[in-house]
Amino acid sequence: MSPTHLEFFERPLAFFITFGTWLHGDARGSIDRFHNRYGTPRLPPNVLRERYERSQLKRRPLRLSQQQRKVVMDAIKEISMEKGWGLWAVNARTTHVHTVVTADWDGKKVRSALKARATKNMGEQGCWREDYSPWAGRGSCRKLWRHEDVINAVVYVKYEQGQ
């Protein structure tokens, strides 16, 4: 009989990690550190919050080009293989990157490593020439405890992002 209660698991089955330049308050909704449970709705649009978030930026938010998106996805695949992480899905969009990954690290450290490798590889491939990070803030790192949650996150990343 398999365990059905979360307390039987020492660590999550996977992490649903998102990072990029999508600001809180955006018209499409957003996720923040206080509203970061898998399967719960996004925060509703909030013009005042988006204006505040934008005022905190040192630079304009980055829109990833097709080349940058490819480099980012390749970088995530590369580091996942190097570290022995199970990469379930990755999708780089113009304003953000989604990944579903299994790792024996803390999820926030995984997210930091993914962002660092993506930035490094963009620099090496000549599609990021700045000396600052292209990413806004921290990003999101949701723990996925159930197989159903992993499957739903993979479906979302691979098939529900539009063209």
What domains does the chain contain, in order, with CATH numbers? 10-159 (3.30.70.1290)
The predicted model gives 34-58 an average pLDDT of: 68
Q: What is the mean pLDDT of the chain?
A: 84
Report the pLDDT value the prediction gives residue 4, as an integer from 0 to 100.
52
Q: pLDDT tens digits, residue range 109-137?
A: 999 999 999 999 999 999 999 888 888 77
pTM strictly above 0.85: no
H or E element at residue 157: helix 147-159
pLDDT tier at 145, thresholds 50, 70, 90: very high
Sequence-ordered list of residues with C-beta below 8 angstroms from that of 56, at least 6 positions apart, any chain: none
